Amino acid sequence: MKAFVFPGQGAQFVGMGKDLYEKHPIAKQHFEQANEILGFRITDIMFSGTDEELKQTKVTQPAMFLHSVVSALCLGSAFEPAMVAGHSLGELSALTAARCLNFEDGLKLVAARAIAMQKACEARPGTMAAIIALADEKVEEVCAAVREESGKVVVPANYNCPGQLVISGEAEAIDIACQRLKEAGAKRALVLPVSGAFHSPLMLPAQEELEKAIAATEFHTPVCPVYQNVDAKPHTDPEEIKANLIAQLTASVRWTEEVQNMVADGATSFTECGPGKTLQGMIAKICKGNENVSIHGVND
């Protein structure tokens, strides 16, 4: 069974999507439609902007969505998913590729999500850190202890793959947690160059804004099950999908469990739709030793 997966922020690079725009009429059509919907030429930033321009959340999220969804569209009849999933922002790409959302509504939701998150970051600054080679349970235990002692926010945010868990919260609490996690045996505790504490309680104002935008958007039954970040389970009911999408902004991304559930439900092939190979690397670690699973990029 074929699974298609869609990455979140972090895999972007200047020049992304230019080859699709030049080679595929359907890509050019959707890129130009996105420029009109967004009210600025995001293609100029994607194809020839600066790293700093592309790193702005209000640009990065629509750019990643656009590249990922168009990558799937360019597959034509080869895009035959038995199931889909997306990491963080990528969940909106997955929902659009699976026709739960139409392209225009999907892009508008991504833009609304990005602006809401940017405002939340400015109102309550925070950061994230990648914890490498330490058991998830230990990371959870340390975060809980730091929260209780400091009264500040620090939570597990992204369960990416075995040995890689990203934590999120207020900078002071992240610094304390990183020091303790290194003392507890983490190989690395690396503060990430991000603009805010995504997938933490600091995103509550953004969640409230996104809820309004989602309530005003029409969701359809997807063409296949969509595995969602908040519970790692497959969903096809539009109301359940909407509720999970709203909860996702302040909840952990349970990616390891998500991929494991997809494999348990019959996935034998994973194709990453989007720039880079971030998810391919994570899935390779999650499925290590499983010879029945193949992992590809969209152009492989």
* Active-site annotation holder among 88, 168, 195, 200: 88
In tens, the pLDDT along 185-221 reads 999 999 998 879 999 999 999 999 999 999 999 999 9
| pTM assigned to the model | 0.96
Identify the bridge partners of residue 234 per DSSP, sorted by sequence position. Answer: 227
Say which residue the tokens 């096809």 belong to. 236
Which pLDDT belongs to residue 55? 86
Q: Which amino acid is at 244?
A: N
Share of the chain above pLDDT 90, in %: 94
Reply yes or no on whether 199 is catalytic: yes
Question: What band does 227 get if pLDDT is binned at 50, 70 and 90?
Answer: very high
Taking residues 2-7, report their average pLDDT: 98
Burial category of 193 from C-beta neighbours within 10 Å (exposed 0-12, middle 13-18, buried 19 and up): exposed
User: Could you tell me the domains of the chain?
Assistant: 2-122+201-297 (3.40.366.10), 125-191 (3.30.70.250)
Question: What band does 299 get if pLDDT is binned at 50, 70 and 90?
Answer: confident
In tens, the pLDDT along 150-171 reads 999 999 999 999 999 999 999 9
In tens, the pLDDT along 238-272 reads 999 999 999 999 999 999 999 999 999 999 999 99
Instruction: Determine the Cα–Cα distance for residues 7 and 234; give it in Å rounded to an integer.
Output: 18
Instruction: Determine the Cα–Cα distance for residues 69 and 95; give it in Å rounded to an integer.
Output: 9
Q: What are phi and psi of 137, to 5 degrees?
A: -60, -35
Instruction: Determine the Cα–Cα distance for residues 203 and 157; give it in Å rounded to an integer.
Output: 12
Instruction: Determine the Cα–Cα distance for residues 72 and 224; give it in Å rounded to an integer.
Output: 14
* Dihedral, CA of residue 294, residue 70, residue 228 and residue 258, to nearest 10: 20
Which pLDDT belongs to residue 295? 97
Taking residues 105-116, report their average pLDDT: 96
* Active-site annotation holder among 68, 199, 200, 252: 199
Tell me the three state secondary structure of residue 300.
coil
Residue 300 above 90 pLDDT? no
The encoded tokens of residue 26 equal: 């359907």
In tens, the pLDDT along 276-288 reads 899 999 999 999 9
Instruction: Determine the Cα–Cα distance for residues 250 and 238; give it in Å rounded to an integer.
Output: 20
Question: What band does 298 get if pLDDT is binned at 50, 70 and 90?
Answer: confident
